[in-house]
Amino acid sequence: MTLEVDTSQVKVAAVERSRVSLRSTLASRVEVIVGGVLVLVAVLIAIIIPMIDPAASTAVGAAPSLVPPGLLNLLGTDQLGRDQLARVAVGYGISLTIAVGAVLLSVVVGGLLGLLAATATSAIDGLIMRILDVVMAFPALLLAIVVVALFGAGTEVLMLAIGITFVPIVARVTRAAALETTRQPYIEAAMARGARRGRVIFRHIAPNSLGPVVVQASILIAIAIMLEASLSFVGLGVQPPTPSLGLMLSTGRDFMVSDPWIVAVPAIAILEIVLGFTLIGDGLQTWLDPKKRAIAR
Amino acid sequence: MILRRLALTVPILLGTSTIVFLILRLVPGDPAASILGSNATEEAIIRVRAELGLDQPLWQQFVSWLGGVLRGDFGRDYITNQAITEELAARLPITIELAGIAFLLALATAIPLGVVGAVRNGGWADRVVRAVAVLSIAVPDFVFGILGILSFALALSLVPSSGYTPIEDGLLENLRSLAIPAIALSLGLGGVLARVTRSAMLDVLGSDYVRFAKASGFGTGAIVFRYALRNASIPIVTVIGLQVGYILGGTVVVEQLFSLPGLGQLIVEAMLARNYPVLQACILVFVVAFIFANLITDLLYAVLNPRLRKVGAA
């Protein structure tokens, strides 16, 4: 076996790799844009459609039941003659409210805990992380079910239930990012200048640790929408007559043999918005930091 | 390192079981009153409370509940008066089979796909792998399940649309009744796993020793399977450990959709009937399963990476 290494080959490989990484940067930008468009469409549907006829989503018998998609009812009507487009629109609104609310809650609580863990003494750090380990030991959907069992189903409870399951994830991401930031020379400089601890944490460490948290947040919104839809689907989430995508799918099952579009509509609606947020999160991840790949979905 | 990891599991088990215990005590309403109905007399309620041990201090109730759980006694179902342990024993195998098939399915498809994506980095095969992975992450299990029922069960009649056929009635029938649910359940894990395998393999394939192996004339197959995959296995195993939770949670929804009489379905039934002792037992089983999955993951690190065995850091 000879030890001659063909260096020209290595150079070609390096050029090849930089070309691939440029291409993947462009691809991730396209991903973010496509995801953004999908989310925007859902948001516009959620805002505009209910303005046209605010009562349409719950107006029983406003049209004949189980009308296929057509000019009068673009996405058809359900078994009670309610307009499916209007129900999807309100469902989107509720999904987005719960998902964004849950993620905001987890970013505020988890972010603060993560910052505290990264900057406090190792005893406090250990205590916070061990408590979060206990929360993380619950599979997400089951923890949400536990919270619903305690407080009953409803929009605010769902926000809280899903938000709590995300707190340990956000805290871990924030803690890791903040520890990385703490090692930077400018933090040392700020400390040496005699800046107060609180100021260093919130003016210097927090903003510079935000990137990974933002990426995580957009992935978490996608998961939150899935969790909300799952809970509503099994009857533990949004309660009728309030429309929800998961509920529409669940009640539509009884009619799907004769009228498949009645489940196809909410199925595609859920898929569209989850795909939108997943693409944004995925694209941002490779775009902002190709080194840090998805660990927590 | 192994001992330290085992020691860490004890407080987590204790913490989670405390939380699970407290659910039943914190839910609104008196269990005794809800067993007896609205016409119950004051004396009857006091008597049932005493029978259930609800008149004891909270910590004593916790100790006796935990003692029962450790001996495999979860108490009695408020509604059917059956021993909960028996109910769990009847349903657990179905959930284990469903989750196990889904898990193996995800592993068997995602890891080869991830390897192909990494070896053909940037090529069309890689693009297909990445697109399939993102899609399978974005399709919720129950949405795929419904589309599966519409196409494979109703349109093509390849599989039953719902219900569970026990193994005693034939292995083929049994697998047919679980096919669509298991595929639906495997998608999320599969998608994440394919991506992690791909990126972990990319890291390894770009390392110096792989370049050296290439320069020494080893074929791609030998490099990938003999060296690279083993070195890429640590992030893969990490993700598997974390994602087991999604499979466990997914069984709740998928069993409900396909009317599979497993533990996940029992959770929903218990929730809707406010049957809290059963809910408590089911959640505890899931949580313990998840904790042990993560424990096994961490122990696998030591098997896969001998360096971790000596240095005490995880």
Between the ranges A197-211, B54-68, B181-195, where is the mean pLDDT highest? B181-195
**A9-23, A94-108, B182-196, B254-268: the lowest-pLDDT one:** A9-23
Mean pLDDT of A46-60: 76
> Strand, helix or coil at A283?
helix
Local confidence band at A3 (pLDDT 50, 70, 90 cut-offs) = very low
In this complex, is the C-beta atom of A14 within 8 Å of any C-beta atom belonging to chain B? no
- The alpha carbon of A87 is separated from its chain's Cα centroid by a whole number of angstroms, namely 22
Residue of A139, A149, A294 with shortest CB distance to B249 = A139
Nearest CA in chain B to A256: B150
* pLDDT higher than threshold 60 for residue B230: yes
Nearest CA in chain A to B122: A20
Cα–Cα distance for residue pair B167/B48, rounded to 1 Å: 41
| pLDDT confidence of residue A24 | 64
> Strand, helix or coil at B76?
strand
> ipTM score here?
0.84
- Across the interface, whether the CB atoms of B122 and A20 are under 8 A apart is answered yes
* pLDDT higher than threshold 70 for residue A297: no
Local confidence band at A170 (pLDDT 50, 70, 90 cut-offs) = very high
Mean pLDDT of B35-54: 74
In this complex, is the C-beta atom of A71 within 8 Å of any C-beta atom belonging to chain B? no
Cα–Cα distance for residue pair A164/A167, rounded to 1 Å: 5
Cα–Cα distance for residue pair B262/B274, rounded to 1 Å: 18
Question: A237 is written with which tokens?
Answer: 């989430």
Dmax of chain A from CA atoms? Answer: 83
Spell out which residues of chain A touch residue B134, defining contact as CB-CB under 8 Å: 275, 278-279, 282
* pLDDT higher than threshold 60 for residue A193: yes
Nearest CA in chain B to A230: B253
Structural domains of chain A in order of their starting residue, each with its CATH number: 44-65+73-296 (1.10.3720.10)
Q: What is the pTM of this model?
A: 0.85
Residue whose entry in the numeric block shows the structure tokens 């997400």: A140
Spell out the alpha helix ranges (H) of A209-260: 210-233, 245-252
Residue of A17, A146, A236 with shortest CB distance to B283 = A146
Question: B221 is written with which tokens?
Answer: 């197959």
Residue whose entry in the numeric block shows the structure tokens 């925007």: A40
Local confidence band at A118 (pLDDT 50, 70, 90 cut-offs) = confident
* pLDDT higher than threshold 50 for residue A10: no
Question: A227 is written with which tokens?
Answer: 């969790």
- Across the interface, whether the CB atoms of B242 and A257 are under 8 A apart is answered no
More confident residue, B270 or A59: B270
Do residues A39 and A277 touch, judged by C-beta distance below 8 A?
A: yes
Residue of A226, A234, A294 with shortest CB distance to B256 = A234
- Across the interface, whether the CB atoms of B242 and A296 are under 8 A apart is answered yes
Cα–Cα distance for residue pair A181/A208, rounded to 1 Å: 7
Domain ranges of chain B: 89-262
Question: B83 is written with which tokens?
Answer: 């021993």
* pLDDT one-digit tens code per residue, A12-51: 555 555 555 666 677 778 888 999 999 999 888 888 888 7
**Can you state the percent helix, strand and coil of chain A, rounding each to 5?**
75, 0, 25
How far CA A235 is from CA of A145, A240, B163, in Å, comes to 11, 9, 19
Spell out which residues of chain B touch residue A230, defining contact as CB-CB under 8 Å: 140-142, 249, 252-253
Instruction: Name the average pLDDT for chain A.
Output: 81
Residue whose entry in the numeric block shows the structure tokens 């009317």: B259
Spell out which residues of chain A touch residue B195, defining contact as CB-CB under 8 Å: 293-294
Question: What region, left, alpha or beta, does residue B217 occupy, with left being phi > 0 and alpha being psi -120 to 50 degrees?
Answer: left
Buried b (16+ CB within 10 A) or exposed e, B86-114: ebbeebbebbebbbebbbebbbebbbebb
Nearest CA in chain B to A135: B16
Number of A–B residue contacts, CB under 8 Å = 156
In this complex, is the C-beta atom of A140 within 8 Å of any C-beta atom belonging to chain B? yes
| pLDDT confidence of residue A295 | 37
Specify the CATH superfamily of domain B89-262: MetI-like (1.10.3720.10)
In this complex, is the C-beta atom of A253 within 8 Å of any C-beta atom belonging to chain B? yes
How far CA B128 is from CA of A242, B74, B202, B266, in Å, comes to 39, 48, 16, 39
